[in-house]
Amino acid sequence: MMNIHSGEQGFTLIELVISLAMTSLIVIGSMSLLWIGSNSFERQHIQAELQYSARKAQEVLKKDIRESSNIKISNDKELVLITDRTVLYRVNTNQNNRTELLRNGVPTAENIIMLKYTLTPDKIVNYEITAKKNQIEYTLKGSCRPQNENISWIAGQGSTGDN
């Protein structure tokens, strides 16, 4: 038979198991909060990146629309703006499988998956630029009127990119 000495100090097995369980819960809770915070930060970072890309595309597109003397839709997949030279917009998937908006074959903005546009009879270009990365999408809508009052075009609509 074992003698239990009441004067000895220490922890019982039950106390150790309970403290280990409580410590584990605290660590798991802390790791969960860290993971949630990291995911939230990553989503916000991607959202900001998509907003930047869409606004960059919008800035270049609006500048070309304002300077246009002729606007036409080429084969429903390309937007052609004629300024002092011809400017062709289309969405492309490059060799790294990334989408980008091309302006005369030169990448203008990354992660752009679609550019929709409507040419109205009252000479306004309505556009919708959609950017996407890692299942997060951002769409920017706007309109612009060319500064040239004698602009020629045929009203219609089209899009370039994923439909």
- Per-residue pLDDT of 48-77, as tens digits, reads 999 999 999 999 999 998 888 888 776 556
**Residue 103: is its pLDDT beyond 70?**
yes
Q: Could you give the count of Cα atoms lying within 13 Å of 3 in the half-sphere of its Cβ?
A: 4
What mean pLDDT comes out for the span 90-110?
86
pLDDT band at 154 (very low <50, low <70, confident <90, very high): low
Q: If pLDDT is split at 50, 70 and 90, which confidence band does 27 have?
A: very high
Least confident residue range of 64-73, 101-110, 152-161: 152-161
- The DSSP result for 24-53, as a single string, is HHHHHHHHHHHHHHHHHHHHHHHHHHHHHH
Structure tokens at 155: 């009203």
pLDDT of 23 over the 90 cut? yes
Q: Are 62 and 115 in contact, with CB atoms under 8 Å apart?
A: no
The pLDDT of residue 16 is: 93
